[in-house]
Amino acid sequence: MRKLSLLLLLLVLVLSVSLGQSYKYGYAGPFPDTAKFKLPGGVVNGGIAIDPAGKVWIQTYGGATDSFPSGYKTGAIYVFDKNGNQVSFSPILKLTGKTELGVTVTDTLDGSGYGLKVDPTDGNILSVKWSSRLWKIDYKTGNGIRRIQTPIVGTTSLAGAGVDQFGEIFLAPVLPGFPVIILNPDFTPAGNVTPVIGDYGRSIEVSADGNDVYTPRFGILKTYIFHSDNGSLGPYALKDSIFLGGSVESIAIHPKTKYVWASTDRRSTGPWTPNSYYAYDPVTKAVVDSFNVAVWDKSSTGPLPRGIAFSPTGDTVFVGHFDVATLPPVVMFIKNKTVNVDREEGQVPDGYTLSQNYPNPFNPSTQIRFTITETATTTLKVYDMMGREVATLVNEALAPGAYNVKFDAKSLSSGTYVYVLTSGGNRLMNKMLLLK
């Protein structure tokens, strides 16, 4: 059965990649809205997950003061609906469940959160806590199900968790000199990916079939790929290193495209931009997409991105950072909606032009006209006055001609926006005013 499942999964992966799905993302603001709720502690350490019902789970990184018991500092887990409202069982301050030996235990969620992950077999949440505790939590009720203490013997610091389609759990240490291990769904030992891994890392991810294990090690600015043709049955061998020069502290696989998304921070070298997320295509071995979290750039030292999680459809992505409590700890990006580009028949362009939008000022929609003289990949993007991308109106190969694009800004606030046309090595820009 397992071999058949692996073959079917491989077919699905090949088809999904061959479809060439595009998921360009645009900034959608902090989550939850900081005007409604300020996450205690103000930072996360890998602690973001979206369950099958669309609820957003955020695990705080210690130091927050909660009311259980009075004045006790916990690394609580907060759970929100899609509108940013806490659900009935949030915050989660303690968990009760069975250990891997069948003994019932209760933990107060003291210390710090090290990461969240969704188990695809049942939708439940895997939570890595300080002191090397791994919990499984019922995503419907917030109740504890199962716990294991110190799965990697000798270290109390885990670099998050990865889980394959069979519910097998992959754990890496933060510190060098310890193994990357595999647990069965019941938390019993299942083997090793590698007996020892070097340098420091804070995250881990695994392909659905369990064949490829991605282990970023930010101290040496590379992400290892360990491969096994037999998934968790092994043996694994070091296959490749990617994101060379990138200081990667969070990583996740897109549920539809299967691209491997990873963060880069201020310690990165080479082509990587701080506070950015890049998509690596494991088939072509190329970086095919990216977005920058401009709202985090306010810090002179720069935050460290440590958290990424996709919605089940992949249309929404949540990212979190560590160590700058004055900045939004978690922000949301959404897939840019496709905009129809109307070509004006019979028009012969005599140059690259970007006309003033009409009407201007506008509320809530306006038309933008442009012309191009060569067939080329053309983008038309809209930015706010802080330089944050708010919409991608065009991103495709266009033939020479004159084009009209409708821009609907009903979800944006009043203010001045800049729209930028890029095509054939040319870059033009203009301003427009939204008045509501």
Mean pLDDT (the chain, rounded): 87
The residue that leads in pLDDT, 18 or 32, is: 32
Q: What is the pLDDT of residues 69-85, one digit of tens each?
A: 556 666 789 999 998 99
CA torsion through residues 152, 229, 308, 57, sign: negative
Element (H, E) at 194: strand 189-197
Percent of the chain residues topping a pLDDT of 90: 61
Q: H or E stretch including 306?
A: strand 304-310
SS3 assignment for 199-235: CCCCCCEECCCCCEEEEEEHHHCEEEEEECCCHHHCC
Highest averaged pLDDT of the listed ranges 117-126, 290-299, 322-331: 117-126
Read off the pLDDT of residues 229-238 as tens digits, 9 standing for 90 and up: 999 999 999 9
Task: Please give the Cα distance from 381 to 361 (Å, whole number).
Answer: 18
Higher pLDDT pick, 223 / 346: 223
pLDDT of residue 2: 44
Predicted local distance difference test score (pLDDT) of residue 8: 37
- Which CATH number is 341-434's, of 2.40.50.60, 3.40.309.10, 2.60.40.1930, 3.40.1370.10? 2.60.40.1930
What one-letter code names the amino acid at 436? K
Higher pLDDT, 190 or 333: 190
CA–CA gap between residue 183 and residue 265 (Å, rounded): 30
Residue 218 has pLDDT above 60, yes or no: yes
Picking from 33-37, 138-142, 260-264, 354-358, which range would have the lowest pLDDT averaged per residue? 33-37
pLDDT at 89 over 60: yes
H-helix or E-strand spanning residue 28 = strand 25-30
For residue 46, pLDDT beyond 60: yes
Domain coordinates of the chain in residue numbers? 20-335, 341-434
Band of residue 11 on the pLDDT scale cut at 50, 70, 90: very low
- Give the residue with greater pLDDT, 62 vs 217: 217
pLDDT for res 70: 59
The pLDDT of residue 14 is 33
Residue 20 has pLDDT above 60, yes or no: no
CB 285 within 8 Å of CB 268: no
Check residue 432 and give its pLDDT: 97
Q: Give the pLDDT confidence score for residue 63 in this predicted structure.
A: 58
- The reply to whether the predicted model has a pTM over 0.85 is no
- pLDDT higher than threshold 80 for residue 148: yes
- Say what the pLDDT of residue 16 is: 31
Q: Residue 40: what pLDDT?
A: 82
pLDDT over 70 (residue 281): yes
The pLDDT value given to residue 334? 85
- Per-residue pLDDT of 358-387, as tens digits, reads 999 999 999 999 999 987 778 899 999 988
338 pLDDT higher than 60: no
**Residues with Cβ < 8 Å from 216, sequence gap 6 or more?**
201, 202, 203, 204, 222, 223, 224, 243, 248, 249, 251, 262
CATH class of 20-335: mainly beta
